[in-house]
Amino acid sequence: MFNFLLILIQSTVFQTVIAGVLVFVLSQIFQDYILKPRQKYKDTVSKIDHQLNFYLSVILNDIEKIPKEISEEIENKIRALSCDLETDYKRLVFKNIKSKNIRKAADNLCLLVSLSWYICDAKTRREEILKIRKLLKINEIN
């Protein structure tokens, strides 16, 4: 029995199969724990950028001028993205943004579409959007 195992371990075919399985397992671990969470986080930041651009004119308007259904829809979408941002950030193994910046960006997103709509003017809301972009390192297109 011991002789058989020794011959099996010394076999080139066996070593190739084991090496292939090991490479496959390691690549799956790398993909699932490093690449996929990173891509999900980047997708969430892209969605935030998109929603802020898409609803910019609405967000900068006075809340009284916006139908209630539309303002509620925008608020729900932005709040959901705020939660997704924090969740996706927590999944990252290697983080290139400080957690306090993520927390502040998430808070600012929620405030932007709730409280600030009622008490802030358009200029202040625009400045909040620029702060969110800066915190998330969203580059402006030149």
Does a structural domain hold residue 18? Answer: no
- Please give the tally of structural domains in the chain: 1
Which pTM value belongs to this model?
Answer: 0.85
Does a structural domain hold residue 47? Answer: yes
Q: What is the mean pLDDT of residues 121-128?
A: 89
Does a structural domain hold residue 142? Answer: no
Q: Which two tokens stand for residue 130?
A: 């620029």
Q: What is the mean pLDDT of residues 117-129?
A: 85
Within the chain, residue ranges assigned H as helices are: 2-10, 12-30, 36-54, 56-59, 68-91, 99-113, 115-119, 122-135
Does a structural domain hold residue 15? Answer: no
Does a structural domain hold residue 16? Answer: no
In this structure, what DSSP letter does residue 35 have? I
- Residue-range definition of the domain harbouring residue 112: 35-135
136 or 67, which is more confident: 136
Does a structural domain hold residue 98? Answer: yes
Does a structural domain hold residue 24? Answer: no
Cα 106 vs. chain centroid, distance in angstroms? 11
Rg (CA), the chain: 24
- Give the type of residue at 43: D
- As a whole number, the mean pLDDT across the chain is 90
Q: Is the pLDDT of residue 142 over 70?
A: no
The C-alpha atoms of residue 26 and residue 58 are separated, in whole angstroms, by: 47
Q: What is the mean pLDDT of residues 47-62?
A: 92
What is the DSSP track for 49-82? HHHHHHTHHHHTS-GGGS-HHHHHHHHHHHHHHH
Does a structural domain hold residue 5? Answer: no
